[in-house]
Amino acid sequence: MPKPLPQKLIESLRGVAGFEEEPFLNIHQSGEQVTSIRYNPAKISAVQIDAHVFPAGKPKAEMAERQVENAGDEKGNETPVDALPTQNPIAWCATGRYLSQRPSFTLDPYLHAGAYYVQEASSMFVDHVIKFLYQEKAHPERVLDLCAAPGGKSTLLATRLPDSFIVSNEVIKNRVTILAENMSKWGCSNAAVTHNDPADFKRLPGYFDLLVVDAPCSGSGLFRKDERAIDEWSEENVAHCSLRQQRILADVLPSLKTGGHLIYSTCSYSVAEDEAICDWLVNEMGLQSVSIRVDPSWGIVKTLSPECQVPGYRFYPDKIKGEGFFLACFQQLKEVEEKEYYHGKLAQLSKTETQLVNYWLNTPDHFQLFKQKETIIALPAKWKNEFATVQSALHVRKGGVAIGTIKGKDLVPHHEFALSGLLHNNIPVIEFDETQAVRYLKRQDIAVDSGLRGWALATFENLALGWMKLLGNRVNNYYPTEWRILKP
């Protein structure tokens, strides 16, 4: 039996737009759990993910038919993802899918290959917001996801904004590791992961075109998923979170450029963390609110903040299929002074090293190569100044794609490179079946009878899993120890 909700929360929500006590309590008591994923269109198609997550739901023949449909037009252009018929789609995110039950994600090679991310459906609304904001405008060049771990919004931004430079930041040290891992798996070459306090971004005044602040909050929106949050909830904590949200926003806002946008979100129902913050952003920070067009059939409740009538978007689990979520959007119209940025120097490779690395890369001309200590990094060439600037101002945990290190005359490839999609097709590939793939991901011994020697990419259904070294009749498994599946 699910835990009862805090009475003080219910009392505080009476009269709040969209709050209906009985259906709200009923849905929390129902025990219903919603599972959703967002797939990675840089790695797989809509047809492939649907065949993978709904294999029993649709006859194979229909899947095959859709495969033909998606073969594209006579010019070879693929049907846009948004135009495809999908099973269990999430209305506000073309790459989102509801699952009818929760599978064992841990044992699914697709997850480890970065083919999808397990993400709460409501929070995928950010996808719609970005699409709406930039439908007729140039995409934002420099994007900061300030509170980014474990990486749900950052991987979404990387998909929705493939031509932007994304700084994905997390202040809590032990959460940066999982953020970096998820960004590596997703194959983000246009991103940097940083470990900084929001106040550190004052070093980059007027720098970003888009800020995403998915703020730490009292967490009432996730009560169905995490019952411990019910015990931890208190009015004092809501007040504490509200003050912390203001502090975080006040610290980071100087880095937003004139004309730039802020997307603010929480997974709290409390007005003090939602609409009250919106009023504060307009009254105290001088931002302009931005309205987002939303299809009324989606069940999202549009609210207006009490003082400044800022439009906000509320997600209630009794009205949508997902958890509690709040989002509002703003624009900076004040003149913000931009600095002349110093582009720190990136350590260059020698000509021989460049030639060696270029042999491994599918489109070397698109990339700037540089070294961080011994590791060779590839970054889309157009972002080299941005990366150098960010590196000179912030604590960068990773940036671009780690390609590997040079030992003697050879490249020892980095795991991140295997998952990046940057690999040339001259590199040998060994396709595994599911049993072998899981053994590989557990870092167990595997037998490969290929007759080849040297580095090879392990794949499952053409999705890259990682490296192995073929040594005649032996194989060295190079799957990173710290990422291996521990589940028996």
**Does residue 475 interact with ligand SAM by CB under 6 A?**
no
The DSSP secondary structure of 235-297, one letter per residue, reads HHHHHHHHHHHHHHHHHHGGGEEEEEEEEEEES---GGGTHHHHHHHHHTT-PEEE-----GG
User: Which is the catalytic residue, given 241, 267, 278, 329?
Assistant: 267
Paired tokens of 129:
């917001």
- Give buried/exposed letters for 209-238 (b at 16+ CB in 10 A, else e): bbbbbbbbbbbbbbbbeeeebbeebeeebb
**Does residue 149 interact with ligand SAM by CB under 6 A?**
yes
Paired tokens of 186:
């997703």
Least Å from the CB of residue 123 to ligand SAM: 6
* Closest to 155 measured CA to CA, from 197, 89, 222, 95: 95
Least Å from the CB of residue 250 to ligand SAM: 11
Least Å from the CB of residue 286 to ligand SAM: 22
**Does residue 96 interact with ligand SAM by CB under 6 A?**
no
| Part of the chain binding ligand SAM (CB under 6 A), chosen from 86-94, 146-154, 372-380, 459-467 | 146-154
Nearer residue to ligand SAM within complex by CB, 240 or 345: 240
Q: How long is the chain?
A: 488
| Part of the chain binding ligand SAM (CB under 6 A), chosen from 19-27, 105-113, 141-149, 403-411 | 141-149
**Does residue 311 interact with ligand SAM by CB under 6 A?**
no
| Residues 154 to 183 in contact with ligand SAM, rule: CB under 6 A | 170-172, 175
User: Per-residue x/- mask for ligand SAM, residues 326 to 365, rule CB under 6 A?
Assistant: ----------------------------------------
* Closest to 393 measured CA to CA, from 204, 238, 121: 204
| Part of the chain binding ligand SAM (CB under 6 A), chosen from 84-92, 149-157, 404-412, 414-422 | 149-157
**Does residue 152 interact with ligand SAM by CB under 6 A?**
yes
Nearer residue to ligand SAM within complex by CB, 147 or 188: 147
**Does residue 150 interact with ligand SAM by CB under 6 A?**
yes
CA trace torsion 213, 214, 220, 224 (10° rounding): 170
Q: Which residue is nearest to ligand SAM (CB)?
A: 152
Nearer residue to ligand SAM within complex by CB, 198 or 413: 198
Instruction: Identify whether 147 is a catalytic site residue.
Output: no
Q: What order do you get walking across the sheet with 35-39 strand by strand?
A: 89-90, 93-99, 35-39, 116-118
Paired tokens of 283:
């009254």
- What is the CB neighbour count within 10 angstroms for residue 322? 25
Least Å from the CB of residue 234 to ligand SAM: 17
Least Å from the CB of residue 127 to ligand SAM: 12
**Does residue 153 interact with ligand SAM by CB under 6 A?**
yes
- What is the CB neighbour count within 10 angstroms for residue 298? 16
Nearer residue to ligand SAM within complex by CB, 179 or 470: 179
In this chain, which of 248, 292, 361, 378 binds ligand SAM, going by CB under 6 A? 248
12 Rama class: left (phi>0) / alpha (psi -120 to 50) / beta: alpha
Question: Cβ distance 350 to 335 under 8 Å?
Answer: no
Angle (CA) 401 94 303, round 5°:
110
Least Å from the CB of residue 40 to ligand SAM: 15
Count of residues interacting with ligand SAM (CB under 6 A) = 17
Paired tokens of 71:
């073969």
Nearer residue to ligand SAM within complex by CB, 300 or 406: 300
Nearer residue to ligand SAM within complex by CB, 175 or 395: 175
Q: Phi first, then psi: what are they for 71, rounded to 5°?
A: -70, -15
Question: Cβ distance 223 to 25 under 8 Å?
Answer: no
At a CB cut-off of 8 Å and minimum separation 6, what does 284 contact? 246, 250
| Residues 207 to 226 in contact with ligand SAM, rule: CB under 6 A | 214, 216
In this chain, which of 147, 210, 253, 464 binds ligand SAM, going by CB under 6 A? 147
**Does residue 148 interact with ligand SAM by CB under 6 A?**
yes
- Give buried/exposed letters for 5-43 (b at 16+ CB in 10 A, else e): bbeebeebbeebebbeeeebeeebeeeeebbbbbbbbbb
Least Å from the CB of residue 244 to ligand SAM: 6
User: Per-residue x/- mask for ligand SAM, residues 406 to 445, rule CB under 6 A?
Assistant: ----------------------------------------
Question: 475, exposed or middle or buried, with CB in 10 Å at 0-12, 13-18, 19+?
Answer: buried
Least Å from the CB of residue 11 to ligand SAM: 25
**Does residue 198 interact with ligand SAM by CB under 6 A?**
yes
Quote the DSSP letter at residue 220: G
CA trace torsion 216, 121, 400, 366 (10° rounding): -150
| Part of the chain binding ligand SAM (CB under 6 A), chosen from 83-91, 150-158, 325-333, 418-426 | 150-158
Nearer residue to ligand SAM within complex by CB, 117 or 455: 117
Q: Tell me the CB-side half-sphere exposure of residue 346, using CA atoms within 13 A.
A: 25
The residue ranges that bind ligand SAM (CB under 6 A) are 123, 147-153, 170-172, 175, 198, 214, 216, 244, 248
Residues catalogued as catalytic: 267
